[in-house]
Amino acid sequence: MGSISSTTYDEILAMFDEVRLRYEDLNDTDVLEAFSLMRDSSSLLASYDTLAADAYKMSALLERNAKATEARKSLELSNKPTDGARRAASNEEVIKAWQDYVESVTRQKYVEANARFLSRVYFDAKMIVENCYRKERPPVGNDRIVGRT
């Protein structure tokens, strides 16, 4: 992709897989692991924001390329716009350009889905941390649920 190298992208995916596996095994009483997951998912989410921006950029460039390829082929194949458009639609170069675009949009959706998952991990882990701390604190005052003054 654009500003994140392939190696870095692979590293980010490896970190995502680690967070995912840790999240699947998370016990709702393990405050240290929940806090660690909260921190790691938040940190990784910033990388996914960069990946998403790169994915949007790549999709836009590939869409523009596919449209330009189709227009160029249409003009090369016929002087009549309708006939050229029909012929271009079945041209291998045009089909390949649109396939590249579709694959880019698919990768973009995967990045977005992973980012949503990391956000969910963060908030689930945060709830576990808060619930664990809440259980450890004695209530303050008469009607306080959370032990804050």
pTM (two decimals): 0.75
The tens digit of pLDDT for each residue in 97-111 reads: 999 999 999 999 999
DSSP the chain: --SS-HHHHHHHHHHHHHHHHHHHT--TT-HHHHHHHHHHHHHHHHHHHHHHHHHHHHHHHHHHHHHHHHHHHHHHH-SSHHHHHHHHHT-HHHHHHHHHHHHHHHHHHHHHHHHHHHHHHHHHHHHHHHHHHHHHSPP-SSS-SSS--
Range of weakest confidence among 25-34, 84-93, 135-144: 135-144
Instruction: Identify the pLDDT of residue 2.
Output: 45
- Binned at pLDDT 50, 70 and 90, residue 134 comes out as confident
Average pLDDT over residues 14-27: 95
Computed over every residue of the chain, the mean pLDDT equals 88
